[in-house]
């Protein structure tokens, strides 16, 4: 209780922030999996009118994180004996 008063609930705020960050990465990874399996992609071009729009850059980076997580997950699963490639 004293530690919580001294840090003003910082640990619970960090826990909540990390939970939201994990959820955001998970959603981005799901979108990357949809792109890989079906070819459906999120239309970032429809969001920002300008080529250098900050939100558009953010969305491209956000979706890139999902692609990276997907690549790493496939690499780890491919080198594991728990998974077997069927195609």
Is this prediction's pTM over 0.85? no
Cβ contact 40:34 at 8 Å: yes
Nearest CA to 87 out of 37, 40, 21 is that of 37
- For the chain, 87 residues long, give each residue's pLDDT as a single digit of tens: 555 555 666 777 788 889 999 999 999 999 999 999 998 888 877 765 677 778 888 888 999 999 999 999 999 999 999 998 887
Cβ contact 48:56 at 8 Å: yes
Cβ contact 72:25 at 8 Å: no
At what angle are helices 54-79 and 10-38 packed, to 10 degrees? 80
């Amino acid at each position: 209780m004293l530690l919580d008063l001294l840090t003003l609930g910082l640990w619970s705020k960090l826990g909540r922030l990390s939970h939201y960050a994990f959820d955001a990465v998970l959603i981005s990874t799901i979108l990357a999996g949809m792109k890989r399996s079906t070819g459906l992609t999120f239309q970032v071009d429809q969001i920002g009118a300008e080529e250098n729009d900050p939100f558009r850059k953010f969305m491209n980076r956000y979706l890139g994180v999902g692609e990276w997580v997907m690549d790493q997950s496939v690499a780890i699963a491919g080198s594991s004996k728990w998974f077997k490639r069927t195609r």
